[in-house]
Amino acid sequence: MIQQIDHIAIAVSDLDEAAAFFAGQLGLEVGGIETVEEQKTKVAFIQVGQVRIELVQPTEPDSPVGKFIAKRGEGIHHIALRTDGIEQELSGLADKGVRLIDKEPKVGAHDARIAFVHPKSSHGVLLELCQPSK
Ligand code: CO
């Protein structure tokens, strides 16, 4: 079941500079920086009430987020929906003919299990399903 928006991700070209903006100008608390090998990114999360902002910087230009920034510049990259059953969610979506980028969950930041839904199916927005680790 989808429970809530887990995070909204912003693609940035310089994570330190972006973190300094959110901490310094907005007074928000930015968590530690984590490298996500599988996605070729490094990320930092900012808790804002129930929802987090994820700052995502590509570690290689030839990565999905690197290509995104090259093509469109910095900006909102994806919206993540939290689920308590990512496998059921993915098989349900596949049964309904929804295009999935990841048919199986992958390991994301903080060991969450994540999978992306193709924006062609979700009206131009890249959706991430995200099941936090216990
Ligand atoms: Co994310």
Centroid of ligand 1 to alpha carbon of 131 (angstroms): 11
CA 76 to each of CA 56, 65, 86: distance values in angstroms, whole numbers, following the listed order: 10, 11, 23
- Percent of the chain clearing pLDDT 70 (strictly above): 100
Centroid of ligand 1 to alpha carbon of 25 (angstroms): 23
Look at residue 32 and tell me whether its pLDDT is greater than 90.
yes
What pLDDT is stored for residue 134 in this prediction?
Answer: 83
What pLDDT is stored for residue 67 in this prediction?
Answer: 97
Quick: pLDDT tens for 77-124.
Answer: 999 999 999 999 999 999 999 999 999 999 998 899 999 999 999 999
What pLDDT is stored for residue 53 in this prediction?
Answer: 98
Tokens of 12: 């940035």
Nearest CA to 127 out of 8, 4, 35 is that of: 8
pTM, two decimals, is 0.94
The amino acid occupying position 87 is E
Average pLDDT over the chain, rounded to whole?
Answer: 96
Distance between CA 77 and CA 96 in Å, rounded? Answer: 24
Look at residue 54 and tell me whether its pLDDT is greater than 90.
yes
Centroid of ligand 1 to alpha carbon of 79 (angstroms): 7
What CATH number should be reported for the domain whose range is 2-131? Answer: 3.10.180.10
What pLDDT is stored for residue 84 in this prediction?
Answer: 97
What pLDDT is stored for residue 38 in this prediction?
Answer: 86
Centroid of ligand 1 to alpha carbon of 95 (angstroms): 24
Centroid of ligand 1 to alpha carbon of 126 (angstroms): 10
